[in-house]
Amino acid sequence: MEIKATDTSTLDWTGDILAVGLFEEGLEITGDLAKLNEKLSGTIEELIAEEEFEGKSGSTAVTRVGSKAPIRKIILVGLGKSEDLKLDGMRRTAAAIARIAKKQKSKTLGISLPIVNEDPAATAAVITEGIHLALHQDNRFKSEPEDKEPKLETVDLLGLGGQQEGISRAEKIVSGVILARELVAAPANEVTPITMAETAQDIASKYGLSVKILEKEDCEKEGMGAFLGVAKASDLPPKFIHLTYTPEGTPRRKLAIVGKGLTFDSGGLNIKGSGSGIETMKMDMGGAGATLGAAKAIAQLKPDVEVHFISAATENMISGRAMHPGDILKASNGKTIEVNNTDAEGRLTLADALVFAEKLEVDAIVDLATLTGACLIALGKDISGLWSTDEKLAAEIKSAAEVSGEKFWQMPLEEKYFEGMKSPIADMKNTGPRAGGSITAALFLKQFIKDTPWAHLDIAGPVWSDKENGVNNSGATGFPVRTLVNWVLS
């Protein structure tokens, strides 16, 4: 499907289905809308009246137009009050339009929406994201998909002529979001540490990035005892993935993105009980999936920033080789950890990944992880927790998130709570009390960072959606690829 920017007006456009955005205060049929209404023999006026269409944000009305008309169907989309219109609202509006066009089996779609913030490039970009993300469907695991591929062939963005560049940039970001969705949605018998490493290698060879996979022996040499402790029980080899994008010329900044890459989390010997969602734990590589998704987008967008994409990929399993509750592990910075709960495994893998990232002498490190159920309880499904040692970095991520339409809420690094992680026998335990569980997890990670500005994103909620929500369909969301990419570009 192709999205095209055009200066064709709603009056001149011909095709299957035309979507027109209307503000609550813009329902009087005047100007161009009156001309279009006249051309369609009064259809718009009738549709507004019959459906009691008020232009409320998120509302839609669809009808067939007389057979002699140059367009076959029309969609009216409510945009709410003009003063409240934001880029993310436009992204969601475009998603809603795309879903209707798909349902109506349209081949050609024309979209007429206002320009937000007087920024036509950004408007074209968010509309593009909304359309592609809403239409993405994952038929990989069905022998006969019930939901056939959408028939949509072309989408014309009316009044956005000259904005093809914005569309193309958005499509690069979308390709990364979709890669992340597909990695996260694939089950643990399909996406393994081995295939994650292969995906990194594919991105590297396709887009000219450099990649290094540290095998188990390499990780042993690096002293990554925390990561390897988690990996011990699995029959699959652990893979420590390090993908690097290097711009031409001197990089303006050097950044590292570190994603939790548990291709399955059984809990280990502290095995997850029934009702704990063990069957959803294929999504525990959501951080790594988004890291590779961001790599794919950034490799195409080519910013003047050096970016390291890192993931310590493994499974948390049980076997005669499994780490025991009570084992003491030594991380690559020399710190010792008493594993009082084998289900708090993500932080153990991240510990060594963060130490590795800091050795690269980058200007900032961001990790992202489906780290705690506690964060999901605190912030719900739509919002990720954000912790940072650096207010400037936190502000950068918040503003990238705003542009991206992804939600974060900053949480405290309350040092006092680290008392709950004190071990009588090692430098720390890996689990504290139930209360404040997402905060103690963040404080644990902080032990593996010396002085590089660092932010931690606990994405346990937003990586997966049980139902259609905005630009997301039910299933893996690809969160927070858009924020990561916009952060790197900022």
User: Out of 104, 300, 341, 469, which residue is the one contacting ligand BES (CB under 6 A)?
Assistant: 341
The DSSP annotation for 403-472 comes to HHT-EEEE----GGGGGGG--SSSSEES---STTHHHHHHHHHHTT-SSS-EEEEE-TTTTEESS-BTTB
CB of 345 to Zn ion, least distance (A): 6
User: Out of 16, 315, 338, 345, which residue is the one contacting ligand BES (CB under 6 A)?
Assistant: 345
Q: Which stretch binds ligand BES (CB under 6 A): 1-9, 36-44, 365-373, 410-418?
A: 365-373
Output 48 or 339, the one with its CB closest to ligand BES. 339
Of 237-276, binders to ligand BES (CB under 6 A) are 265
- Out of Mn ion, Zn ion, ligand BES, none, which partner does residue 437 contact, by CB within 5 to 8 A per kind? ligand BES
DSSP label of 114: P
CA distances to 139, 257, 363, 473 from 254, rounded to whole Å, are: 38, 10, 5, 34
Please provide residue 264's backbone torsions phi and psi, each rounded to the nearest 5 degrees. -160, 140
Site string for Mn ion, 255-284 (x = CB under 5 A): ----------x-------------------
- Out of Mn ion, Zn ion, ligand BES, none, which partner does residue 372 contact, by CB within 5 to 8 A per kind? ligand BES
Output 343 or 352, the one with its CB closest to Mn ion. 343
Instruction: State the residues that interact with Zn ion by CB under 5 A.
Output: 262, 265, 284, 346
Output 314 or 486, the one with its CB closest to ligand BES. 314
343 binds Mn ion (CB under 5 A): yes
398, 399, 405, 406: CA torsion to nearest 10: -20
CB of 354 to Mn ion, least distance (A): 18
Q: Rounded to whole angstroms, how far apart are CA atoms 322 and 271?
A: 11
* Active-site pick, 35, 151, 172, 272: 272
Output 13 or 227, the one with its CB closest to Mn ion. 227
Q: Whose structure tokens read 């839609």?
A: 60
Output 305 or 329, the one with its CB closest to ligand BES. 329
- Out of Mn ion, ligand BES, Zn ion, none, which partner does residue 277 contact, by CB within 5 to 8 A per kind? ligand BES
User: Out of 100, 184, 196, 374, which residue is the one contacting ligand BES (CB under 6 A)?
Assistant: 374
Q: Which stretch binds ligand BES (CB under 6 A): 87-95, 104-112, 179-187, 373-381?
A: 373-381
Q: Rounded to whole angstroms, how far apart are CA atoms 8 and 108?
A: 14
The DSSP annotation for 57-96 comes to TT-EEEEE--TTSSEEEEEEEE---GGG--HHHHHHHHHH
* Active-site pick, 347, 398, 429, 482: 347
**Interacting residues of 272 by C-beta distance below 8 A, sequence separation 6+:** 265, 266, 278, 281, 343
**Interacting residues of 382 by C-beta distance below 8 A, sequence separation 6+:** 407, 461, 462, 469
Q: Rounded to whole angstroms, how far apart are CA atoms 320 and 305?
A: 45
Output 231 or 297, the one with its CB closest to ligand BES. 231
107 an active-site residue?
A: no
Interior angle at CA 11, CA 7 and CA 12, nearest 5: 60
In sequence order, which ranges of 211-325 are alpha helices (DSSP H)?
216-221, 225-231, 286-301
Q: How many residues bind ligand BES (CB under 6 A)?
A: 17
Q: How many residues bind Mn ion (CB under 5 A)?
A: 3
- Out of Mn ion, ligand BES, Zn ion, none, which partner does residue 3 contact, by CB within 5 to 8 A per kind? none
Q: Rounded to whole angstroms, how far apart are CA atoms 224 and 226?
A: 6
277 binds ligand BES (CB under 6 A): yes
Of 91-120, binders to ligand BES (CB under 6 A) are none
Count of Cβ atoms closer than 10 Å to residue 111 Cβ: 28
Q: Which stretch binds Mn ion (CB under 5 A): 196-204, 327-335, 344-352, 466-474?
A: 344-352
347 an active-site residue?
A: yes
370 binds ligand BES (CB under 6 A): yes
Closest CA to 1 of 195, 131, 160: 131
447 binds ligand BES (CB under 6 A): no
CB of 375 to ligand BES, least distance (A): 8
User: Out of 75, 196, 297, 344, which residue is the one contacting ligand BES (CB under 6 A)?
Assistant: 344
Q: Is the peptide bond before 114 cis (omega within 30 degrees of 0)?
A: no
Name the site residues for Mn ion (rule: CB under 5 A).
265, 343, 345
Query: Looking at the annotation, which residues are catalytic?
Result: 272, 347
Name the site residues for ligand BES (rule: CB under 6 A).
265, 277, 284, 341, 343-346, 370-374, 376, 431, 437, 460
